[in-house]
Amino acid sequence: MTLRTQLAAAVLIAAAFPASAALKVGDRAPDFKAPAYLAGEPFEYTLADALQKGPVVVYFFPAAHTPGCNLEAHLFSEAIDEFKAAGASVIGITAGNTDQLADFSRETEHCGGKFPVAADPGAKIAAQYDAVLDRKPEWSSRTSYVIAPSGRISAVHADMNPNQHVKSMLDAVRALGK
């Protein structure tokens, strides 16, 4: 599937599944631990540990290997060096197709092994972040957060269209450094 076809499919899906409300800037980000994969290798991700190294972009996505999520993961992987240069790390979290995350994390057309993705069975973490898909509550919505090292949310982007999440989060991370 071409990038253009993925984009068209993502726009159609975005119209069918609006994003839910999100936590607000200034709110304390709920801490979490989750099984995750980086380049296909399993490990346990802990938000508190990641925050000790700098800001964290936590982006929720509905399901691995779906058009909008494929595109979003690819866009984050293309921009990962810019996030690192700004001192931030990225973690993708999903409640959908969690059995496919090892492959999704490794495949070059998606994450490309450049950032971890975590499984959220039952959308429990997503629920703490008000990032549950309204029409399919067993899946996460497409909601992204920048969490400052203090543990406070410094930016939120909630929109089922994946196109602006990376730019919005990168701009917010860069603003933290100013």
Q: Count Cβ atoms below 10 Å from residue 143 Cβ, excluding itself.
A: 27
18, 37, 51, 77, 89 from 147: Cα distances, Å: 23, 21, 8, 19, 10
What's the pLDDT band for 104 if we cut at 50, 70, 90? very high
The position carrying tokens 């008000």 is: 130
Q: Give tens-digit pLDDT for 82-95.
A: 999 999 999 999 99
Domains of the chain and any CATH numbers: 3-176 (3.40.30.10)
pLDDT at 125 over 50: yes
Q: Give tens-digit pLDDT for 15-74.
A: 333 344 468 999 999 999 999 999 999 999 999 999 999 999 999 999 999 888 889 999
DSSP category for residue 120: -
Q: What angle do CA 10, 112, 11 make, to 5 degrees?
A: 5
Sign of CA dihedral 43, 112, 18, 51: positive
1 class by beta-carbon count within 10 Å (0-12 exposed, 13-18 middle, 19+ buried) = exposed
Report yes or no: 73 and 160 within 8 Å, Cβ to Cβ.
no
Q: Which residues contact 172 (CB under 8 A, 6 or more apart)?
A: 146, 154, 155, 157
- Residue with the bigger pLDDT between 19 and 120: it is 120
Question: How far apart are alpha carbons 81 and 22 in whole angstroms?
Answer: 27
What's the pLDDT band for 102 if we cut at 50, 70, 90? very high
pLDDT recorded at residue 28: 96
pTM: 0.86
